[in-house]
Amino acid sequence: MSNSPTVFDLVVIGAGPGGYHAAIRAAQLGLSVAIVEKDDGTGIGGLGGVCLNWGCIPSKSLLKNAELVNEMKHASDWGIEFDNVRFDMSKAVDRSRRVSNTLTRGIGYLMRKNNITVINGTGRLMSSSRVQIDGDEWVTAQNIIIATGARARSLPGLEIDGESIITSREALELREQPKAIAIVGASAIGCEFAYYFNAYGVEVMLFELLPRIVPKEDEEVSAELERQFKRQGIKINAGSMVKGVEKNDDGSVTLSYTVGEDGETQTFTCDKVLLGVGVQPNSDDVGLTNVGVETYGPGFIEVDGHMRTNVTGVYGVGDVTGKLPLAHVAFDQGIVAAETIAGHDPEPIEDYLAMPRCTYCHPQIASLGITEGEAKDQGLDYSVGKVPFQVAGKSVAVGDPSGFAKIIVDNETGEVVGAHIIGSEATELIAEVGMLRYLEGTSEELHRVTHSHPTMSEVVKEAAATVTGEAIHF
C-alpha cells in the first residue's frame, strides 16, 4: 500500500456484493476508488465477500451436485441403468471451491480493469473522511461506504464452535459425510442444506421455532415444501424449541428439544448441528462510534433510500444495513450509493418487498411482494390466481411437475402485489413478475403477454389468467 495513493474520492470498506458493486460503479463514473478487504479468500471473506467465497455461489454448486445425485437415484425412470454408482461428497466440495475461485479471480480482474486500488487489511473509521488500515496506516476519502456484511448468529446453549456446532461456512467444506445432522432454523439456508445432505443419504432432522418451515413465505408454499421434504425423507419439527446440546465422548452430540408449548423433552443424537437462525451485523469494530453513525437493533447501520447514514459522506450498503440480507439487494444498494456519491439522482430503494426472495432447495422457492396472509391482515380487496406446475407441459416432459405458481392481485388496481412460486426453476421465473411489478403492471398484462411453448414460464401466465377465470389448462 505504501506505493499507492492514499487520498481517494471514495473508500469502500468490504469487498462483498455491495462493496464491489459500489466500487466498480463509482469508478465507471470517474471517481478514484479504493476498496479495503481484510481477507484473502481463505477465511470468511475475500474479494466477492461471503457470497462468492463461502455463501451463494459455492452453496449453489453443492446443490447442483445434490440435484444430480437425486436424478441418478431415479435413473431407471429415464431408461438408464448402471451398477455400483458412488456419490462422493468430498468431490462435490472440491468442485464448489473451484467454482468459487474462478469467480473471485474474476472480481480481481474487474478491480484492475476499473483502476480500483485494492487494500488488504482491516478498515476502521477514524473520522468521516479517514480510514485506518490494520492500526498503522490510513487513507483519506471524501466519501466512505461501509459494506462489512454480517455473520452467523449463535443461540444460547448452541454456541458455534466450528466442529460440533457449525454454520453454513463450515458445512460448505465438510468433506467427511456425517451419518446424521440436526439443522436448526428452517429458512433458506436451513432448507437448502437439508436438501443437500439428504441427497447424500445423511439423516436430516430440521428444526424450526415457528409453526412452519420457510415461515416468511406464503403458508401454501410452506405446506408444499414440507410435503415434498417429507417425501424425500427429511424429518421436520416445526413449532419446536431447541433446549441445548450435550457433547458425547464419541464425538457425537445429543440435541434436546420440545415440540409445542406443552411437549415433552425429546432428544436427537447426530454428528453435527448446523445453525441457520439469522445473522448479526459486522459493525462492532468498524469505528462507528468514532463518527457517531446511528444504528438500530443489534448494530445494523441506519440508512435512507440512497444509502446515506446520518453522517455526511458516510454510507452503508449490504447486510450490515439489515434491510434484506440478500446479495442482489446489496448489489442494487451499492450502485445507488455510488451514483449518489457521484452526484447523480438514482431512484431510492424504499420498497424491499419488491425484491425477489429465493430458496434453492428442490423444489425451488421464489417470491416477492406480500403473502396471502398479509393481504388478509391488511384488509386488502384481492384476488388469487393459482395453478399447479402441471399446466406447463414442459414440467411433465422433463419429469418435474410438482409445485405451483400463485399470484395475488389488488382488485382495485389490477396490480400484482404478491407472487409465490414453488417448483422447477422458480428462482428464474420470478424475474418476470419483478419486472411487471416495477412497471406497475397488471395481471391482465401478465396473462396477455405471449409466452414460449413449451416452457416453465407458462405456469406464470396461467396463474395470471386464473385470476379472471381465463386459464386454458386449469
Question: Alpha helix locations (H) across 114-183?
Answer: 168-171
> Which positions are catalytic?
453
Q: Helix 56-73 to helix 89-113 angle, to the nearest 10 degrees?
A: 150
Give the number of other Cβ atoms within 10 Å of residue 155's Cβ.
16
Residues 6+ apart with CB under 8 A from 361: 63, 191, 192, 194, 195, 196, 225, 229
Q: Are 5 and 11 in contact (CB under 8 A)?
A: no
Residue of 170, 174, 216 lying closest to 191 (CA atoms): 216
Nearest to 275 by CA among 222, 226, 340, 206: 206
Tell me if 333 sits within 8 A of 326, measured CB to CB.
Answer: no
CB-based burial label for 99 (10 Å; 0-12, 13-18, 19+): middle
Tell me the angle at which helices 327-341 and 17-28 cross, rounded to the nearest 10 degrees: 30
Label residue 260 left, alpha or beta by phi (over 0 means left) and psi (-120 to 50 means alpha).
left
CA-based nearest residue to 163, from 242, 251, 57, 40: 251
User: Which string of DSSP letters, residue by residue, matches 201-216?
Assistant: T-EEEEEESSSSSSTT
Nearest to 459 by CA among 391, 367, 358: 391
SS3 273: strand
